[in-house]
Every structure is written in structure tokens, then in C-alpha cells.
Structure 1
Amino acid sequence: MYGLAESDPDQNLIKREGMSPEALGQIDRIMAEMGRMRRLERQIMRNSQSFMKLNETDMRALRMLISAKHAGTVVTPGQLARYLGISSASVTKMIDRLIDGEHVARRPHPTDRRSWCIEVTDPTHLMAREQVGRHHAQRFEVAREFTDAEREVIIRFLARTSDAMEDSMSRAQTALEGPDEKSGKTGD
């Protein structure tokens, strides 16, 4: 949407000296395409959520359950709560809601009589594959078109971008916490 010149005209965040106009243009195009991909992914998710009448947390839970089904692993409510970062009470409410909607089933755990396992239902699994999976499979088809060396460059770019963003978030969080919170002191 906006290039470097429009989003950071005074170079407060991104120093551009020594870079050719061609290099800056390529970087602008990379950022624009990454933004377009994020917008499309959000739209795919919104469309799927609307079609399936689910919220974002529900969809994340279904993705985990589908992956577990493919891997042949069992998912307990506790594992689901930890993965989603929500409380036991919240995961219980969510599971009950998903059972009511016939998206998941609660079954006795195969090896632990005290526990339950949660499984995605076949109709919801199929619906998720059609609503989300088909779109995301296109990324594989695109990646297939590149050479091994080109894929390594793409991997390095994506990994280094993620690492840089994680580092930036960590530094920002540390700055927000201040010296007392970082050290665990209460300031009394």
C-alpha cells in the first residue's frame, strides 16, 4: 500500500543510504506482496469463520485437532488449553460449543481412563479442507516452481524476517516492562 518513502520519509526507522533506487524498489515490492498475502490470508480465515460459524480460537483449535488426526495423536482438553493459551474453563466452554455444533467429539482417552480426548468430526474436517486447505495448498504449488537454491533463499528470508520481528517484539516488551518488572522487584 505504502512504500518506504511514504511510510518512513525521514528515515527514522529504516536507513536507506547507499541503496540504489532499484534495490529500494525491489524491497518495496517484497513488502507490498507480503502485505497482500497477509490480507488474503485474513480474508480466507474470515470467510471460513463466517461459513463455519466459528471464531478465531475455534478455528485454531480445529487446525490443531486436524493436525493431530493426521499424525495419529490424541489431544486432551488440557493440551488444547495450553496450545490455545486459554484457561481450562474456557476450553471446556469452547469444546461444549464445538460439540453442540457437531464440529468435534469428546471420546474416552484410549490409554488414560481418567481423561478424555477431543477429535474433529469428519464433516468438519472435510469442510475445513475445502474452505481453508485448498487455498493454502496453492502455496505448495508455488514453492514447487522454484529451484532448490531459490527455495533456500526464500526460507532464509522468511526465517530471518521472523527472527527480526521476534527480536523487535522482545525488545519492545522489555522496554515496556521497565527495570522493576524485569528484575522481579516490586518497587516497595
Structure 2
Amino acid sequence: MYGLAESDPEQNLIKPEGLSPTALEQIDRIMAEMGRMRQLERQIMRNSQNFMKLNETDMRALRMLISAKHAGTAVTPGQLARYLGISSASVTKMIDRLIDGEHVARRPHPTDRRSWCIEITEQTHLMARDQVGRHHAKRFEVAHEFTDSEREVIIRFLARTSDAMENSLNGVASADQPSATAGD
């Protein structure tokens, strides 16, 4: 499904010249495993959302609040709105809904008396750790199995893949990758 033959059979986008059959087979396997991982991540997220009776935006908000709690930082509704890319009105409705569900609490801001901060409740924090955190722990365990130099290769691959995808999303041709029209 994610291999060269299935995704670009006419080779309009990907030019495999100069790649050995082994290299092509390895790249196809990498793409297949990345696709499988994306499917599993979506399933984990759907399962967590269903279990916690929350939507995707709610879950993203909770992840931010958990990270902020671990970092010891306060999160205002405005910061939450900017992070989620939603309006102030939408974030207010979401916060009210999450408060009603006892997932978050509104507290006075620790340093700004005019402002409020939003905190995740202990019960929801534990539930999220059980539902999502255990999957992240498995990733950590796998990463631990590799040597330092192997992890550097993995980091470079993931970072360069993310950069290339971001450039593609933004319509920027990468300097070290030919554009789709190069050589045509």
C-alpha cells in the first residue's frame, strides 16, 4: 500500500534510477512500517478518545496541560487557544465542557491576579497516562534497544523526513531533493 509500485507506479514523483533492488525493497519496507505505525497511532488515539469520551482537540489540550504540569508552568486559556489553533470562544466552550466532565480545573494564575490558568485534574492525568502514556513507554523501550550511533541515524531519518514533509506541505522544494518536475 505504501510501496513505490502502489503509490507511484508511473514513477511521476519518485525516480528510482541508481537504486539497487535491495535499496528499493528496504525503502518500501520503511514506508510500510511508517504507514503501519501511523495506523496504530490513529487507533490508539481513537481508543483513548472513546474511553475518555473526548474529541481530538480535547485530547490535544490535555496533552499540553500534562506537559505544562510536568514542566511546572501555568497555562492560560489564551495559550491553549493559540496552541490548538482555535478561537477564544471555542476554547472557552471546550474548557467549560472539560470542567463539567471533571477533566480540568480553572484556578487563579499563580503570578497574574487578573488571569486564570487551566490545570488537568489528577484523575484525568492518571487516566491519560494509563491510556496513552503506556504506549509512549513502549516507544521508549524500543529506542533504548538501539546503540547511540543507531539512534543518531534514526533521529536523522525522522528529522529529515519531517523536514521534507513540512517543506512539501509549505510548497518549498528541498535543496537536497529534486522537485517533482526535475528532469522532466
User: Structure 1 stretches of 5 or more lacking a match?
Assistant: 173-188
| Map of 2:66 onto structure 1 | 66
Matched, 1:132 2:125: no
Q: Tell me the equivalent position of 2:6.
A: 6
Whether the aligned pair in 1 keeps the contact of 2:2 and 2:31 (CA below 8 Å) is no
Any idea what the Cα deviations from partners look like across 1:106-149, whole Å, max 9, x if unmatched?
A: 01111111100100000000000000000111110000000010
Aligned to 2:49: 49
Shift of residue 17 of structure 1?
Answer: 1.1
Query: 2-side partners of 1:73 and 1:161: how far apart?
Result: 31
Structure 1 partner of 2:115 = 115
CA distance in 2, matches of 1:117, 1:2: 44
Partner of 2:79: 79
Alpha-carbon distance between aligned partners in 2 of 1:7 and 1:163, rounded to the nearest angstrom: 21
1:151, distance to aligned residue in structure 2 (A) = 0.4
Match of 1:183 in 2: none
Structure (1 or 2) with the greater helix fraction: 1
RCO greater where, 1 or 2, for CA within 8 Å and sep 6 or more? Answer: 2
Give 4+ residue runs of structure 1 displaced > 6 Å after superposition.
Answer: none
C-alpha deviation, 1:3, in angstroms: 1.6
Name the aligned partner's letter for residue 133 of structure 2. Answer: G
Structure 2 CA distance for aligned equivalents of residues 19 and 46 of structure 1? 38
User: 1:80: how far off?
Assistant: 0.5
Alpha-carbon separation, structure 1, partners of 2:68 and 2:2: 40
User: Could you report, residue by residue, the CA deviation over 1:162-183 in whole angstroms, capped at 9, with x for unpaired residues?
Assistant: 01011111117xxxxxxxxxxx
For the residues of structure 1 that align with 2:3 and 2:134, how far apart are their CA atoms?
31
Paired residues of 2:8 and 2:14 also in contact (CA < 8 A)? yes
**TM-score, L = length of structure 2:** 0.92
Identity, % of aligned pairs?
88
1: distance between equivalents of 2:9 and 2:112? 61
Q: Supply the distance in 2 between the matched residues of 1:166 and 1:2 (Cα, whole angstroms).
A: 19
C-alpha RMSD of matched pairs (Å): 0.9
| TM-score normalized with structure 1 length | 0.90
